[in-house]
Structure 1
Amino acid sequence: MNSRLHSFKISLRNETVKKLLFFLLAALCVSPFISSPLALASGFFIAVFIGNPFEKHLHRYIHLLLQVSIVGLGFSLQLDEAMQAGKTGFQLTIVSILSVMVLGYLLGKLFRIEKPLSYLISAGTAICGGSAIAAVSPIIKPDNKQISLALAIVFTLNSMALFIYPALGHAFHLSQEQFGLWCAVGIHDTSSVVGAANKYGNEALHVATTVKLARALWIIPVSVFTMFIFKTKGSSIKIPWFIGLFILAILAGTYIPFFHTLGQPIASISKSGLNLTLFLIGSTLSLSTLQSINFRSLAFAVILWIAISIGSLLYIIRYI
């Protein structure tokens, strides 16, 4: 028995076997048989038990694939639907961002978290996870350890949200619109937002994607505010330009008959692309990354996440 297990471990160390298993699971994730949470779990399985043979090269492609997939979803949206979703989530977006940033400042003082780290986690929780962390990092100039820790915490909570949010959505009998709005406000990263919403339903996916991308535009004013708070000069602001392409895709799907006809097929391909994105994200996680998270920073982030999740849920149930 021990010899067989030893032989199995040796075979998994073989680079050719690793690549074959990686491509096999990746192919399964773009099929209709694998849900978004399972796609993420499959990637994590690769990272922990087999080893990702492409880890060094994936990061540059993950964001590109996510952006292309989101733009593709725009072709299946009608302009009036997108405007209604954006209007519904506007007030909640403003209140939630301000609340999280203020609460993050106060909790950071209470937990004695380093100011750059607490700000990174707060911005990631308030706006759009890793993208917000990447946007404010050049401004506040944290060290690499603080950036890595903030990203590790956000990605860990995102992974949990993919499983927790759909289950709670059904438990509270949330409508498609309510759940999509809750995802856009309560989950950090865009990838996990669309993954959880996609599992819940098409309407939830449309609402979540539109509101989350509108929310992501708040990177710009928050970055300007950050430059003022940290008194940094000459820092650049990263603008999420692909959101403009998403808006153009909505306009094309609404007013151009050719794209209106192809909207649903493009959306189906885009959903497969999102599943593949989650698989790739999962495959870049590792036990060493998770072990780098300390208790105080994790507790700080979890309290922020619970606060925005419960607060937005109560608002949505009452007013939406």
Structure 2
Amino acid sequence: MESSHALPVKPLPRVLAGTRRAGRASGAVLPGLAVAVAVALPAAWLSRLVPTVGGPVFGIVVGALAGALLRRMAPRGTAERLRPGFAIASRQVLQASIVVLGTGLSLSDVLRVGVGSLPVMLGTLAMALLGAWAVGGLLGVHSETRLLIGVGTGVCGASAIAAVTAAVGAAEARVAYALGTIFTFNIAAIVLCPPIGHLLGMSQEAFGLWSGTAINDTSSVVATSYSYGTEAGQYAVVVKLTRSLMIVPICVALVLWRSFGRRAQDARQDESAGRRIWRAFPVFIIGFLLASAAATYDAIPASWEPALPVISTFLITLALSGIGLSLKFSKLREAGPRPLLLGAILWAAVGATSVGLQSITGQL
């Protein structure tokens, strides 16, 4: 006897159509994603040989070169067929990398740094963001490029650029310019900061605070501060992790600002403010906060801890490989040297602000 509560069954043609659509979608994405992985693997290997450069920078450089070769040598239309996979790498994989990044950032680290270091961190962040807006405007640098260089200088280099790119969908050429600028001044910091620290007679803690707030990428902070001393290195890493937390409010503020700006141009005035905030809030930021909370309360198995930073770095490298593969050098030439000049001015201003605030607060 047939049950009156039988579950509804979709017609077979509809099921088959849905399966075919899913198959076509995966078929469109997988080739490009596979190429991005093929670029990311040697980029990750190169970063082990030259750790001060880092996988993300190698990823976008190798990706850009590989993309140029594909467009020149592959059969016509190949690059366009691979583009959906590149887009997945540069968006969804990028967002996943930020979530995994949160597992290495315990919220309790903020408390260990102490209230005394917060004026220096907040002051240098304000200098980077306001300086990028003001100086970049005077130089005629595109607003997206200004934003990326500002957060890269003020927060944590490639990771901050990746997070903001995931939040606002910045153009590939502007991401490449920002990463190139940040990389240039990371190398300058490794060479110049230790001698300047000795010249100024900085203590281990003072140099750790300075390098943690004035140098961009974590790898460069570690290389620079540990060359000054073990105590400086340990303090700089904690400062750097705490500084990285600013990714969250910056990304949320950017997404909300852009979302409300777009809504204002639409006719959807009946939508409540709460619903607009929920629609605008980036899911990957929620994941980042949950991952950080898990790290804070020791909810992550100890056996996973060595692998998670490696996974996060590789995912960022994969994402930036996808961005590099989509990049066209003609777009870079259009911007000229002005972004690099902006990065130089911000780097010097943030370093001087950090020293000045330490002097004012008695930490130098």
- Shorter-chain-normalised TM-score: which range? 0.5 to 0.7
- The residue type paired with residue 262 of structure 1 is W
Specify which of 251, 255, 264 is matched with residue 233 of structure 1: 264
The 3-state SS of whatever aligns with 1:319 is coil
Q: CA distance change for structure 1 residues 309 and 48 in 2, over 3 Å: closer, same or farther?
A: farther
The 3-state SS of whatever aligns with 2:354 is helix
Specify which of 43, 61, 64 is matched with residue 47 of structure 1: 64
Determine if contact 2:105/2:292 at 8 Å carries over to the other structure.
Answer: yes
Determine if contact 1:182/1:312 at 8 Å carries over to the other structure.
Answer: yes
Distance 1:63 1:195 in 2: 24
Distance 1:23 1:151 in 2: 17
Specify which of 186, 206, 212 is matched with residue 244 of structure 2: 212
Determine if contact 2:167/2:282 at 8 Å carries over to the other structure.
Answer: no
- The residue type paired with residue 61 of structure 1 is A
Distance 2:346 2:195 in 1: 22
- Does 1:319 find its partner at 2:363? yes
Match of 1:25 in 2: 42
Distance 2:162 2:310 in 1: 25
| Higher CA-based Rg | 2
Determine if contact 1:62/1:280 at 8 Å carries over to the other structure.
Answer: yes
**Which consecutive residues of structure 1, in runs of 5 or more, have no partner in the other structure?**
1-17, 138-143, 188-192
Distance 1:101 1:256 in 2: 34
- The residue type paired with residue 190 of structure 2 is P
Residues 152-191 of structure 1 correspond to what in structure 2 (within 5 A)? 152-173=176-197, 175-176=207-208, 178-183=210-215, 187=216
Specify which of 32, 37, 49 is matched with residue 53 of structure 2: 37
Match of 1:3 in 2: none
- Report how far residue 81 of structure 1 moved: 1.7
Give aligned-pair identity as a percent.
19
- Report how far residue 35 of structure 1 moved: 1.8
- Report how far residue 44 of structure 1 moved: 1.7
Determine if contact 1:66/1:273 at 8 Å carries over to the other structure.
Answer: yes
Distance 2:246 2:113 in 1: 10
- Report how far residue 281 of structure 1 moved: 5.4
- The residue type paired with residue 177 of structure 2 is I
Distance 2:127 2:265 in 1: 28
Specify which of 116, 121, 126 is matched with residue 150 of structure 2: 126
Superimposed CA distance per residue, residues 241-285 of structure 1 (whole angstroms, 9 cap, x where no aligned partner): 434433333332343466245323433443454555565555555
Distance 1:104 1:23 in 2: 30
Determine if contact 1:71/1:249 at 8 Å carries over to the other structure.
Answer: yes
- Report how far residue 83 of structure 1 moved: 3.6
Aligned length: 282
Determine if contact 1:253/1:259 at 8 Å carries over to the other structure.
Answer: no
Q: CA distance change for structure 1 residues 23 and 122 in 2, over 3 Å: closer, same or farther?
A: closer
Match of 1:11 in 2: none
- Does 1:264 find its partner at 2:306? yes
Distance 1:121 1:50 in 2: 22
Match of 1:12 in 2: none
Determine if contact 2:165/2:175 at 8 Å carries over to the other structure.
Answer: yes
**Which consecutive residues of structure 2, in runs of 5 or more, have no partner in the other structure?**
1-34, 71-78, 152-159, 198-203, 227-232, 267-275
- The residue type paired with residue 191 of structure 2 is A
Determine if contact 2:40/2:318 at 8 Å carries over to the other structure.
Answer: no
Q: CA distance change for structure 1 residues 297 and 84 in 2, over 3 Å: closer, same or farther?
A: same
- Report how far residue 157 of structure 1 moved: 0.8
- The residue type paired with residue 319 of structure 1 is Q
The 3-state SS of whatever aligns with 1:180 is helix
Distance 1:266 1:50 in 2: 29
The 3-state SS of whatever aligns with 2:264 is coil
Match of 2:100 in 1: 72
Residues 264-303 of structure 1 correspond to what in structure 2 (within 5 A)? 264-274=306-316, 287-296=329-338, 299-300=341-342, 302-303=344-345
Superimposed CA distance per residue, residues 190-212 of structure 1 (whole angstroms, 9 cap, x where no aligned partner): xxx34534655785555434422
- Report how far residue 23 of structure 1 moved: 6.5
Superimposed CA distance per residue, residues 283-320 of structure 1 (whole angstroms, 9 cap, x where no aligned partner): 55564343122345654454344423442355458737
Scaled by the length of structure 2, what TM-score is found? 0.55
Distance 1:105 1:275 in 2: 28
Scaled by the length of structure 1, what TM-score is found? 0.61
Q: CA distance change for structure 1 residues 179 and 67 in 2, over 3 Å: closer, same or farther?
A: farther
- Report how far residue 37 of structure 1 moved: 0.8
